[in-house]
A and B are shown apart, each in its own frame.
Chain A
Amino acid sequence: MSNPEEFDLVIEAGRTELHYWKDLWRYRELFYFLSWRDILVRYKQTVIGVAWSLVRPLLTMIVFTIVFGRLGKFPSGGVPYPILVFSAMLPWQFFANSLSESSMSLVGNANLISKVYFPRLVIPASSVIVGFVDFLISFALLIVLMMGYRFVPDWKVVTLPLFVAMAFGASFGVGLWLTSLNVEYRDFRYIVPFIVQFGLYISPVGFSSGVVPGKWRLLYSLNPMVGVIDGFRWAILGGETTLYGPGFLLSLAVIMVLLVTGIWYFRKTERTFADVI
């Protein structure tokens, strides 16, 4: 029987990797490197390069303002419609992009998974980080927009990081589920674009969630992005915007559950990735 204290590392079937979380810290630079790689690759051999990160949210905002604001005439609660839309689009784009990227991240990095060891959690996490970088760029655009409309947010904007963390949690949680499922069942590659498209219309991006009738509001908040987007609007727009308490808490709870179970399922199936991918 080998003396366990002698050895740094013991590999055994089914053994819970206590090393795993230490390893995540040891490989922390990989979070940076994989995100850096994805961002760099995106703009290689392009002409306008990074400017593409601005064009997408800008165009979506313009389209939404026209479609929902002018044509649909959804109420905006006294706030310039573009800002209403943009403040919701920020978290939504973050969620949608992170979801699309992270759900394919494991399969896309199959060559790494089968040849090198590092804690696999780094892979979907770095996809979400890439989404976050895009988010920051769009956020800068929002600030420009607010300056353009001479719109000054009130104190509530300080709570914004909390909602950003919620958006992070939602993207990561759902992303983990999808990416681990996608390794074994490649059907999820087709499901994700559908979720994203569908989600765009049922989440309160183009309209405010006040539009939803009272009795459905709680059920509506099962969609985690409802809480996130409402929170974003509340923090940025301030003023009269209210936050529907129970709905928000429900969304928050859903996000926690998704995150925890996502990590659990990912860790459970992680040991078979290299064999199945």
Chain B
Amino acid sequence: MSNCVVKVEGLSKKYTLRHEQRERYTALRDVLTNKAKSLGRRMAAPFVRGSGPCTNSSQEEFWALKDVSFEIEQGDRVGIIGRNGAGKSTLLKVISRITEPTSGRVSMKGRVASLLEVGTGFHPELTGRENIFLNGAILGMSRAEIRRKFDEIVDFAEIERFLDTPVKRYSSGMYVRLAFAVAAHLEPEILLVDEVLAVGDIEFQKKCIGKMEKVSGDERTVIVVSHSMSTVKALCSKAMLLDRGVMKVMGQVDTVVAEYVGASKVDDAEKAISDKDHDPQGGTKMRVKQVKLLNGASNGFSVYWQQPISVAMDLEVFEDVDEVSFGAGIKMLDGTWVLSAHHDDYGARPRWAFAAGRYTIRFALQNNLRPGIYRLCVGAHHEHYMRNLFHLEPVNLEVLDHTQQGSVPFVYNPGIVNGSSNWETPERIG
């Protein structure tokens, strides 16, 4: 408790959105009187406490943050994740004192520095050297400090040749490197970073993450907002999920990321599919009506460890079609393909022809996946015209970490699929 460096209690932030009302009849007299009235109201606004909503333009309250509370200890590295519009940047802005909260309280201990944007205060006319001083001062470093770290900063940014060129001539990569180099040399006790790592090439991102890890290693607290789950997992020990202004969960980074990514964790064993789910490009010859898991584990669309994934797919065919090839596959929740297979791979079976009508197709996919949540994909091609008849990703599939009989000795091998290996007994050589 005494180690707490950031404590947020019941934090809320409200914005007022104005909506113009469309007048049904626009008489000039009405337009003028309305304008005069609203002008009078606006001029008086700063002096009138709690001026109520206007009558001729409706106002809506928008709560960007709703009663957020959490505590962060010294040395924690916390990631804040959530969809766009969840309130992550607003939370950071309130903690950075850029905007005031509507209610609630934030208490902090130690020097705070926030990086909400790369290159804040950079002036395009000034040279790199001048901008280092300017940016450093704006971020809170003293002149002596900047001078002391000047060489390190230039070194980190790798722009020594261009130090005396106006920044407007820099390429975007150089700009970002310089901006981040200055920011990376801040030495605050608490560092807030908002999605700034999204820019720059891979090498640079690695360097930045390395630098930030070093920062947090020295008992500094880092709070990162990012959309990149890999960055958050690499950098943070804890994470917080925000959804439409409300904090949904805060805990170990893996748990929170899993919650965010697999939002609707497990679907039912039977999933109905509507016409809307189909991509219109596929045409209207064939539609999938239902996807059903056969012999799965009891709770929803789940299979046991290493149990083949047996699926029954109900189709409706509207037009006669031939030369059809079906496929099924598995994707990670972030869209990476894990595997796929077609019914006519390696000449296993010939392509099929269908007359209009309703059909059921059953297939089984081999399952060598590690426990986790994946996405099942099904598709059909019209090989003759090399076109998709449909391509769907209808359900989340869960692979459990035990068999129907019971637990499997738990093995933590990272990866998507299970590997197998053969090891020989070590032979002494010295």
Contact = CB atoms under 8 A, between A and B. Distances in A.
A116 B101 contact: no
B99 A275 contact: yes
A29 interface: yes
A63 interface: no
A115 B100 CA distance: 13
A41 to B, nearest CB: 5
A114 interface: yes
A193 B250 CA distance: 54
A251 B97 CA distance: 38
A9 interface: yes
A116 B126 contact: no
A122 B416 CA distance: 55
B15 interface: yes
B46 A13 contact: no
Contact of A115 (B2, B4, B42, B117): B117
Given A13-B100, A116-B98, A40 B126 contact: yes
Given A33-B133, A37-B126, A116-B98, A8 B109 contact: yes
Interface residues of A, number: 38
Nearest to B94: A11
Nearest to B98: A274
A13 B94 CA distance: 10
A6 interface: yes
Which DSSP category, helix, strand, loop or mixed, fits chain B's interface? mixed
B101 A11 contact: yes
B357 interface: no
Interface string A14-35: 1000000000000101101100
A103 to B, nearest CB: 17
A12 B9 CA distance: 10
Contact of B96 (A33, A37, A117): A117
Given A11-B95, A115-B98, A271-B100, A2 B125 contact: no
A9 B107 contact: yes
B193 to A, nearest CB: 13
B245 to A, nearest CB: 16
B312 interface: no
A275 B15 contact: yes
Nearest to A265: B46
A67 B9 CA distance: 67
Contacts of B174: none
A30 B116 CA distance: 19
Interface stretch (B137-145, B223-231, B289-297): B137-145
A60 interface: no
Nearest to A185: B42
A33 B125 contact: no
Given A7-B107, A275-B15, 8 more contacts: A11-B95, A11-B105, A12-B106, A29-B137, A33-B133, A111-B121, A112-B138, A185-B42
27 contacts: A7-B107, A8-B108, A9-B112, A10-B105, A10-B107, A11-B105, A13-B102, A27-B140, A29-B143, A32-B143, A40-B126, A40-B130, A41-B123, A41-B125, A44-B125, A111-B120, A111-B121, A112-B138, A116-B114, A116-B120, A117-B97, A118-B138, A269-B46, A271-B100, A274-B98, A275-B15, A275-B99
